[in-house]
Amino acid sequence: MERRQVLKASGIAATAGLTALAGCSSSNDDPSGETDTPSNGGSNTVLMVTKGSDYYFEPIGLFVEAGETVTFENDSGNHSATAYKQGNGQASVTRVPDGAGAFDSGILSEQGVTFEHTFETTGTYDYFCTPHKSLGMVGRIVVGEPGGSAEGSMPPDGDVPESQTIVDQGAVSYNDFSG
């Protein structure tokens, strides 16, 4: 290989490496180890949808293992993914496992914009959309196994699938749940 080609290839590899490292930084000092990161996609994706007068998360229920990352993607409208943890956004109650960090995407208004959260603490997480909470836009993620303050009741602003149903099915679509 000529020297120019080696340098060019090395430059590409270095650029790719720096780009990858840039995505590894996080300003989240959450002691739970959970992280929030802007993103451009992921395998565990929850869409935030406005369809006519319906506002919902798709799927409304999702199962992941501890350490996995969920990508919240704005499909249409203006939405957020905000954990029910007292003092987080408009949350007046806590519906995440003990020791779990709160997450809040802020309002995402452009189609295709994403937000990622890595779930490290096992248990059940309920979350809502800040602008559509009063319209029942809520969702549930079960990490590893059901547990925590969200078990045994529904979020104060809407209904979600039972945690065991989410575990059994892996994901519960909004249409299957609400239909």
pLDDT in tens, 114-166: 999 999 999 999 999 999 999 999 999 999 999 999 998 999 999 999 999 99
CA-closest candidate to residue 92, choices 61, 54, 128, 141: 128
Greatest extent of the chain over all pairs of C-alpha atoms, in Å: 67
pLDDT of residue 178: 86
Confidence of residue 56 (pLDDT cuts 50, 70, 90): very high
**Average pLDDT in the 14-29 region?**
35
**Residue 79 annotated as lining a ligand binding site:** no
* 48 is known to lie in a ligand binding site: no
CA 30 vs CA 38, 91, 126, 129: distances in Å: 16, 18, 19, 22
- Residue of 76, 82, 68, 158 whose CA lies nearest to 115: 82
What pLDDT shows up at residue 109? 95
pLDDT > 90: percent of the chain: 73
Per-chain mean pLDDT for the chain: 82
**Domains along the sequence of the chain with CATH:** 35-178 (2.60.40.420)
Please report the pLDDT score of residue 133 as a whole number: 96
Q: Residue 26 and residue 83: Cα distance in Å, rounded? A: 19
Amino acid type, 116: E
Contact call for residues 128 and 78 (beta carbons, < 8 A) = no
Does 25 or 68 have the greater pLDDT score? 68
Kindly state the tokens that stand for 56. Answer: 């919902």
| pLDDT range class, residue 43, cuts 50, 70, 90 | low
Q: Which residues of the chain form beta strands (DSSP E)?
A: 35-39, 45-51, 54-58, 61-64, 68-74, 82-83, 114-119, 123-128, 138-143, 171-172
47 neighbors 58 (Cβ within 8 angstroms): yes
Burial label for 43, CB within 10 Å (0-12, 13-18, 19+), is exposed
Across 105-111, average pLDDT? 96
Check whether 117 is labelled as a binding-site residue.
no
Residue 88 predicted with pLDDT over 70: yes
**Whether residue 38 has pLDDT greater than 90:** no
| Nearest residue to 28 (alpha-carbon basis) of 57, 69, 61, 66 | 69
